[in-house]
Structure 1
Amino acid sequence: MYSARLTKYGFLFPALLLLLILMIYPLGYAINASLHSYFLGQQTGFTGLTNWADAFHDTLFWNSIGLTLLYSVIAIPIEMVLGIALALLITSLGKKMPRRISEIVRSILIIPFIIMPVVSGIVWKLLFLPQYGFLDYLFRLLHLPPIDWLGNPLWAVVAIIFMDFWIWIPFIFLIVTAGLQALPDEPFEAAQIDGASFWQTLFQVTLPLLSSVILVALSLRTIDAIRIFDQVYSMTGGGPGAATTFVSLQLSKTAFSELNFGLADAELFLVLALMLIIVGGYYVFMGRKYLHG
């Protein structure tokens, strides 16, 4: 028995070692970089916690943090609600339609999520272009005044949130649909026998059973929202001005435009800490309420 267990872990050891190397070396390199100064991309000397102190006084960095959190607070709850609602609707309709058609519908719905983020940004940039964009054309047909989506700071953020809905609602839909298909039938049959209404079944049976799945989807979505980069870079480039310069874009400018890798690494660890606090908060509050009764 002992030999068999040892053999099993022995087969896992090379993969585990490779995983640790791929995680620990970049992390150690980043920590080392945050403790050094750089000039024109070259390390010039040890500075201790100077970069960390500078990070706490970097106004542009904290503005980008605030913008990222604002965008996340607006986008994520709406995406979660719509993604869950869409999953419930399609799963319910799927029971009443041929399986082949149901699979085709689900495949179509997840297409936005599997498109490369950079491509999504370019597509939505074309949609929001003034004069030549589809939305501007639609507004003219309806005799409505045009909106400078990408040139106005407020509307540029709104445009990114719309694009975000298109990409990430299918992601939530996909995860929740998988969770719904794995749920047992017995609790729903018992609720039906007890005469529970649709809303009672939803809030007292379906959602509590899906709590772990929803928690995973929410955590993954939050992490990706904080590190959003590709689609924003290809859509607005962080503009107009700094209106859509989310924290990942700001870190990219600090590292690759200003070549201040030490400061960028220090700020990166602050972002990592922020992610851990938020996601950890999800597991503390939601996990205590739903996962452990």
Structure 2
Amino acid sequence: MKEEIAGQQSIIKYHHNKFHSYHDVIATEFPLTLYVNRQEFATIVCSPTNLEELVLGFLASEGVIRRHADIQTIQLDDSKGFCHITLTKEINHDNSHYSKRMISSCCGKSREFYFVSDAAAAKVSMTDKTVRAGDIIRMMEQLQDKSTNFKQTGGLHNAAISDGNDFYIHRSDIGRHNALDKLYGYCIKEHISIRDKVLIFSGRISSEILIKASKIGVGIILSKSAPTDLAIKLAHDLNITAVGFIRNESFNIYSHPDRIIK
């Protein structure tokens, strides 16, 4: 299957008191079922781009793998929506943490799985990375400039990994978690250390997104939107600097402000 994040769709548009025939650009929604060591593990509803990165990042964030060397083989059959992964180790599929489930494009996973597994995999940031205030504004502007698919569809989340100056990689997906997993997978595949990197995100910083950032290992997360109260509490606990409402030459720092300098 050709990787396409969006496609054309015929619609009827109502505008200025009239109906018009119109071709709109619609975000593609694609289910990808993962089989780990020959057993069904999860189905991720995603945008069908950078799927190998998505798989690597997802498995790493769930604690199934720690590094690329834990993968023996990975075979993508994107024409049918399957990915077969063979690990260099066995995992206990009977463990409730690894029960078969659907990862939707909107909310990620159930609260039960989230609190049991994610809390165990969350990492306290030890980075001493600092970022200049002007670079925060500039990086968010860069993310907005690169978000061409969002401008066309209005239905995608965008994220990037940066060293505080330039982007390493930018990814888009209908699922906010998926966009971050693709970044994580890219760094795993390319053996890029991410302890001293900055995560730039287009969406709201929820508790799930904050924990996803901690799993990836970044110490600074930047967003054009707002955090939740639980995300702020977790950011304090996990030593992560959360910056939100990056708009119009201003932003708010919600936790560990010492990493943001003039």
TM band (smaller chain): under 0.3
Provide the TM-score with structure 2 as the length reference.
0.22
Provide the TM-score with structure 1 as the length reference.
0.21
The structure that is helix-richer by fraction is 1
The structure that is strand-richer by fraction is 2
Which structure would you say has the larger Rg? 1
